[in-house]
Amino acid sequence: MQVNFSDTIPSDARLVAHIADKEKMPGGLEAALEQGAKTARFKGNAGQLFEGFVERGGNVVRVAVAGAGSANADRRSNNLEKAGGALAAKYLTSGEPAIALDFSGSGLDAAGAASVMLGLRLRSWRHDAYRTKLKDEQKVSLKNITAVGAPDGTENAWTDAVSVAEGVEFTKDLVAEPANTLFPISFVELCEDKFAGTGAELIVLDDAQMEKLGMGSLLGVGLGSEQPSRILAIKWDGGKDGEKPTAFVGKGVTFDTGGISLKPGPGMGDMKFDMGGSAAVVGAMLAMVKRKAKANLVGVVGLVENMPDGRAMRPGDVVTSMSGQTIEVLNTDAEGRLVLADVLHWTQVEFEPKQIVDFATLTGAMIITLGSEYGGVFSNDDALADNLLAAGTTSGDKLWRLPISPAYDKLINSPIADMQNIGPRGAGSITAAQFLKRFIINDTPWAHCDIAGTVWADKPGATWGKGATGYGARLIDNFVRENVEG
What pLDDT shows up at residue 167? 98
| Same domain, residue pair 219 and 248 | yes
| Same domain, residue pair 354 and 421 | yes
263 in catalytic set: yes
Q: Which residues of the chain have pLDDT under 50?
A: none
What pLDDT shows up at residue 57? 85
| Same domain, residue pair 102 and 243 | no
Instruction: Write the secondary structure of the chain as one string of H (helix), E (strand) and C (coil).
Output: CEEEEECCCCCCCCEEEEEEECCECCCCCCHHHHHHHHHCCCCCCCCCEEEEEEEECCEEEEEEEEECCCCCCCCHHHHHHHHHHHHHHHHCCCCCCEEEEECCCCCCCHHHHHHHHHHHHHHCCCCCCCCCCCCHHHCCCCCEEEEECCCCCHHHHHHHHHHHHHHHHHHHHHHHCCCCCCCHHHHHHHHHHHHCCCCCEEEEECHHHHHHHCCHHHHHHHHHCCCCCEEEEEEEECCCCCCCCEEEEEEEEEEECCCCCCCCCCCHHHHHHCCHHHHHHHHHHHHHHHCCCCCEEEEEEEEEEECCCCCCCCCCEEEECCCCCEEEECCCCCCHHHHHHHHHHHHHHHHCCCEEEEEECCCHHHHHHHCCCCEEEEECCHHHHHHHHHHHHHHCCCEEECCCCHHHHHHHCCCCCCEECCCCCCCHHHHHHHHHHCCCHHHCCEEEEECCCCCEECCCCCCCCCEECCCCHHHHHHHHHHHCCC
| Same domain, residue pair 424 and 314 | yes
Evaluate whether residue 156 is within a structural domain.
no
Rounded distance between C-alpha atoms, residue 366 and residue 362, angstroms:
8
Evaluate whether residue 306 is within a structural domain.
yes
| Same domain, residue pair 325 and 260 | yes
User: What one-letter code names the amino acid at 109?
Assistant: D
Evaluate whether residue 252 is within a structural domain.
yes
What pLDDT shows up at residue 40? 96
| Residue 6 φ then ψ, to 5° | -150, 155
Candidates 476, 78, 125; CA nearest to 277 is: 476
Residue tagged active-site, from 82, 121, 290, 337: 337
172 in catalytic set: no
Q: What is the CATH number of the domain that holds 232?
A: 3.40.630.10
Candidates 377, 347, 364, 357; CA nearest to 483 is: 357
| Same domain, residue pair 104 and 206 | no
Evaluate whether residue 210 is within a structural domain.
yes
What pLDDT shows up at residue 1? 86
Q: What is the CATH number of the domain that holds 74?
A: 3.40.220.10
- What is the number of domains present in the chain? 2
Structural domain ending residue among the three candidates 151, 178, 203: 151
What pLDDT shows up at residue 337? 98
| Same domain, residue pair 115 and 253 | no
User: What one-letter code names the amino acid at 63?
Assistant: V
| Same domain, residue pair 141 and 169 | no
Cβ-based burial of 136 (10 A; exposed 0-12, middle 13-18, buried ≥19): exposed
| Same domain, residue pair 70 and 183 | no
Other Cβ atoms within 10 Å of 415 Cβ, number? 6
Evaluate whether residue 69 is within a structural domain.
yes
Evaluate whether residue 268 is within a structural domain.
yes
pLDDT 10s digits, 434-449:
999 999 999 999 999 9
Evaluate whether residue 158 is within a structural domain.
no
| Same domain, residue pair 281 and 229 | yes
Structural domain ending residue among the three candidates 90, 119, 151: 151
Evaluate whether residue 157 is within a structural domain.
no
Residue tagged active-site, from 62, 263, 294, 398: 263
| Same domain, residue pair 39 and 174 | no
| Same domain, residue pair 146 and 172 | no
Structural domain ending residue among the three candidates 151, 181, 207: 151
pLDDT 10s digits, 278-296:
999 999 999 999 999 999 9
| Inter-CA distances, 385 with 55, 75, 184, 187, 479, Å | 55, 20, 30, 30, 11
Which residue range(s) make up the domain with 60? 2-151
